[in-house]
Structure 1
Amino acid sequence: MATAAEGLVGGLTIEVARARARIDAAVSAGVDATKARRVLVRLELELADAKKRAIEEFHRLPANPYA
């Protein structure tokens, strides 16, 4: 069963990959990618925070729900 935090991690992981691809395409085309890099940094920070929340959420769940 996936939690909301795990779903957020998955979505942000995809967004980070897309942002990296856009930056690579812009750099190879000779376009300034400064704004895209700023967006990537923000997404990576959000992803790190979401991963932390997912881990915390995982450890909050009881191993045996009937205990």
Structure 2
Amino acid sequence: MKVVVDLSRCQGYAQCAFLAPDAFRMHGEEALMYNPTPDDAQREQVLRAAAACPLQAILVDQLEERDAPVQAPPS
């Protein structure tokens, strides 16, 4: 999973830091710091945090799912 935050859109509401504190945290009152490659254990929290962002400044690319090989159904 890869996370990108558009820091020019982020207004520091900190919903992400509340919902996924291991991936997002506030530095001071307005500066957001985040982990661009959180581990799979944080997936649900990160997705909830991205959905809760009032300005939709968080983009999540779930690389594993998209790049995983497709298995053919049994015949």
Query: Which TM-score applies when normalising by structure 1?
Result: 0.29
| Structure (1 or 2) with the greater helix fraction | 1
Whose Rg is larger?
A: 1
User: Taking CA–CA contacts closer than 8 Å with sequence separation of 6 or more, which of the two structures ends up with the larger relative contact order?
Assistant: 1
| Structure (1 or 2) with the greater strand fraction | 2
